[in-house]
Amino acid sequence: MDSPRQKRSAQDNTAGRPGDSLDTRMLEGLVGYNARRTWLAISTVFSERMAAYGLKQVDFSVLSLLAHNPGATSRQLCATLDIQPPNLVSLISTMDGRGLIERRPHPHDGRAIGLHLTAAGVQLVQDAEQTVIELEQDASARLTTRERETLIRLMQKVYR
């Protein structure tokens, strides 16, 4: 207890010296804070490397889901990714305009539209998934393979 690391009395007023880093032990003891920082760190690398494909995180998630779930509906994507239907409309429309996906009438439900990757879409997702896997390795390079598996397992234990 009472680790001397970054120890600084709350009485004296030395925190304001510019250049000094702050005592963040309280925040760093929280799962939420650390989860956000972790996501932000990966997110930065993701944005850098995926710009080459013209894909943001949501774009990648949607395309990757369609690669493994051909014919999925807009509604299913929304439920899976926890996004609101109106916010998916322009994304789908853009992907369609880029020739990456196509909308086909749904076989069982006249209200719904089945979403499918085009040949170009399949190729792009294949490359993008490979890039994401590499980028994730690099962004979490300080973890061993076993630690990475443990981390993912524990995170899923929280939210799943």
Partner DNA sequence: TATTGTTATACTCTATAACTATA
Partner DNA sequence: TATAGTTATAGAGTATAACAATA
> Which residues are near DNA by CB under 7 A?
18, 56-58, 73-75, 83-89, 92-93, 103, 106, 109-113
**CB-nearer residue toward DNA: 67 or 92:** 92
29 interface partner picked from DNA, its own copies, none, CB below 5 to 8 A per type: its own copies
Distance CA 33, CA 138 (A): 22
Partner residues linked to 105 by β-bridges: 113
One-letter identity of residue 29: G
Report if residue 131 touches its own copies, rule: CB under 8 A: no
89 interface partner picked from its own copies, DNA, none, CB below 5 to 8 A per type: DNA
- Per CB under 8 A, the list member of 70, 85, 93, 94 interacting with its own copies is 70
Q: In terms of Cα–Cα distance, which of 114, 87, 85 is closest to 102?
A: 114
159 interface partner picked from DNA, its own copies, none, CB below 5 to 8 A per type: its own copies
Place of tokens 């993008």: 128
Q: In terms of Cα–Cα distance, which of 97, 88, 39, 85 is closest to 61?
A: 88
What is the distance, to the nearest Å, from the Cα of residue 11 to the centroid of all Cα atoms in its chain? 41
User: What letter does residue 116 receive in the DSSP assignment?
Assistant: E
**CB-nearer residue toward its own copies: 109 or 127:** 109
Binding mask 80-119 for its own copies (x = CB under 8 A): x-x-----------------------xxxx--x-x-----
Q: In terms of Cα–Cα distance, which of 39, 55, 48 is closest to 125?
A: 55
Report if residue 47 touches its own copies, rule: CB under 8 A: no
**CB-nearer residue toward DNA: 104 or 150:** 104
